[in-house]
Structure 1
Amino acid sequence: MPAAVNIDEADLRTALRGFLLSVVGESYEVVKGQDNRVAMPEGKFITMTGLNNDELNKPYSTWQDSGQPTGGLELTNQAKKWICQLDIYGENAGSTASTIFTLARSRYAVRQFAELTQGKGFSITPLYADQPHQTTMINGEKQYEERWTLDLHLQFNLVISTPMEFAAELYVKPASVDATFPPE
């Protein structure tokens, strides 16, 4: 059995997209950044580009014994910080970035992420957001496009499951070490 991971970047992006749509509504398209052979959307949109996956603690293990000699699991746990760059394009991108920045640092974001991940086997918690800044872009027609950028920092708890054998019973047979392995 290969190692199994409880959360991946697609899960993080899906939850983040749900949060962003709860903030900006359906007037914005929210897409993954850095997709090859995909044109930029028209109008107002937000791109999400994962930047880092930093560790917040050293990994530690817990175990799940299935009651069988095989079939148990070692669970390697680690708190991680995912940094995602958000690029907001279109009319009023600056005020939209400011709204996202403010709400990402509020109880609203904590509640939204809890709802979006409920029952999925993982949780995501917003930590903080960096101040939005203007990163104007010149498009293919040599026209300025309004674009604002901010980095959102989210915590998730990674759990990697790997197989582990357990013993239900142990038999101890005492032996005299000196008799079996006499000293020289």
Structure 2
Amino acid sequence: MSATISLTQSDVMTAVRSFLLGVLPSGVEVVRGFDNRVPAPTGPNFVQFWMIGTARLSTNWNEYVGNTQPAPAPQDGKMQARKGVEARVQIDFYGPAAEEYADMVSTLWRDPYGCDAFAAINPEIQPLHADDAKNMPIVNGESQYEQRFMVEALLQINPVTTVPQDFAEELAIEEFINVDAAYPPGA
């Protein structure tokens, strides 16, 4: 078995999208950013979001889990290394209601409502805080200004990396070796 991780960037982005869809009015399209040659949604209001960075919040904490195979054979088990990570997400709101929607999301992200919503989606993902909405209009391909408000929102995620670990409940010692006699110092 090779190493596995419990929480991927895709899991985090799915949780963010679920939260946004639960907060915004029905019909507002929510898309993940950075897709080349994909046109913007056609509705009057839409949201685009992406991960912009991560930062470690803590050192690892480990848990060792053994199997219940009969002794004295080594038991197949695992070591789980969990770390706390701050994930930063940029959320851009476009259209006539961009400011209103950005304020709603920023407010609820910092509220117990946001904690409860994310806990229902994935308990390993929790909102930390979000910036106030910033007015960041853009110029589109037709050289026209488009209304855009941006919110930077932070999450805490706790991914667990699992690797194989051998365990034994008892060991059988068959022969003692005098180390100094078998391997003399300086030899």
> With structure 2 as the length reference, what TM-score do the two structures score?
0.88
2:134 is aligned to 133
Which stretches in structure 1 are left out of the alignment for 5+ residues?
none
Partner Cα distance (1:183, 1:104) in 2: 65
2:14 is aligned to 14
Aligned residue for 2:83, secondary structure, equals strand
Aligned residue for 2:167, secondary structure, equals coil
* Post-superposition CA distance 1:74-105 (Å, at most 9, x none): 10110111100000001121121111111110
1:156 is aligned to 157
Q: CA RMSD in A?
A: 1.8
> 1:72-151 alignment to 2 at 5 Å?
72-117=77-122, 123-151=124-152
Partner Cα distance (1:182, 1:153) in 2: 60
Identity of aligned residues (%): 34
Count of residues in correspondence between the two structures: 180
**Which stretch of the first structure deviates more once superposed, 133-142 or 60-69?**
60-69
Deviating runs (4+, > 4 A) in structure 1? 172-184
Gap change, CA 1:178 and 1:8, over 3 Å in 2: closer
Which stretches in structure 2 are left out of the alignment for 5+ residues?
none
Contact 2:4 2:162 in 1 (8 A): yes
Partner Cα distance (1:183, 1:142) in 2: 80
> With structure 1 as the length reference, what TM-score do the two structures score?
0.89
